Structure 1
Amino acid sequence: MSYIESIALGTMSPGRERPITNDIRINTMKRNTSQREAIKAVFEKERRALCIEEVLSGGQHLVKSLNQATVYRNLKLLVDEGWLKKWHHPIRGSMYEPTDLAHHHHFHCRICEHIYEIEGCLLDPSAKTPAGFLTEAHDVFLYGVCPTCRKTVP
């Protein structure tokens, strides 16, 4: 495709040597770098599963201009890159955690709503899987009251 044809199709702008789409992608990546680094810093500090609101709140301490749309966009990018894992909590919805965490399960405190990680695995899926079935993954969620909240609940 010639330079003139590229301009006519809208994939190139006069005076540019690269396609417009590449310029937009590069500018977007550069613009969000400090925000993405703030989001990563929140996960590196917490080292646990976080919901969107927790990521936004923690990230805004580092970058005041961070907003919810930017958090969603960057979380998707970090999941696509394999840096984060997205999973669904039955009550809290979408949760995100670093992919370098060892296999674990979760305890959800019904009072403070905090989600705690339980190290290791509480289930041997091969022992519970019916004959002929193939288990590919599993999630275990425990619900109750954490030690801190137990002190305040009668």
Structure 2
Amino acid sequence: MTATRSTRQRDVISRVLDGAEGPLTVAEVLRRAQADLPGLGIATVYRTLKLLTEQRRIHPVALDGETLYEPSGRGHHHHFSCTHCHRVFTLHSCPLNLPAGHTYPGGFVVEAHEVTLYGRCPQCAAG
């Protein structure tokens, strides 16, 4: 019975992350997963996120000193952090033209880049 519960918890947490508009904090994963599994605890969420990370099904995103999680395999993308509602969204277009191997002024050779834009999301900007 424990193995079945574990699988259900993993499946619900995976679905929560897959359906999110951007990376989620542990607290957001817990809150959204509890809609399907009211008895789900924070320790189970941490264990499951660790397991899914080890399996490379998800990966951590460091943003403003906090770790968020999102599914792996979504390709090159960036994030938008709403300064009003504090949600984080995935942006599928890149605001920079810095491909790997590009030499940045001063002799810096680009291997990769991450960009987070800050402002108000469409919902907060409209209200």
Q: Between Structure 1 and Structure 2, which shows a larger proportion of helix residues?
A: 1
Partner SS state of residue 56, structure 2: coil
Listed one character per residue, the Cα deviations across residues 48-94 of structure 1 (whole Å, up to 9, x for unaligned) are 31111111011111111211111011001000001001120015x00
Match of residue 123 from structure 2: 148
Q: Which has the larger radius of gyration?
A: 1
- Cα distance in 2 between the residues matched to 1:119 and 1:129: 26
Counterpart mapping for 1:2-151 below 5 A = 30-46=4-20, 48-90=22-64, 93-125=66-98, 126-128=102-104, 130-131=106-107, 133-151=108-126
Percent of residue pairs identical: 36
- Cα distance in 1 between the residues matched to 2:105 and 2:5: 48
Aligned residues: 124
- Cα distance in 1 between the residues matched to 2:4 and 2:23: 27
CA contact (8 A) 1:102 1:120 kept: no
Displacement after TM superposition at 1:137 (Å): 3.0
In structure 2, do the counterparts of structure 1 residues 134 and 31 end up closer, same or farther at CA, with 3 Å as the change threshold? farther
Unaligned runs of 5+ in 2: none
In structure 2, do the counterparts of structure 1 residues 105 and 75 end up closer, same or farther at CA, with 3 Å as the change threshold? same
Listed one character per residue, the Cα deviations across residues 103-125 of structure 1 (whole Å, up to 9, x for unaligned) are 11111110011111111322233
RMSD of aligned alpha carbons: 2.1
- Cα distance in 1 between the residues matched to 2:105 and 2:27: 36
| Residue identity in the other structure for 1:68 | I
Q: Between Structure 1 and Structure 2, which shows a larger proportion of strand residues?
A: 2
Q: Which has the higher contact order (CA 8 A, sep 6+)?
A: 2
- Cα distance in 2 between the residues matched to 1:148 and 1:66: 30
Please report the TM-score for the alignment, with normalisation by the length of structure 1.
0.71
| Residue identity in the other structure for 2:37 | V
CA contact (8 A) 1:86 1:94 kept: yes
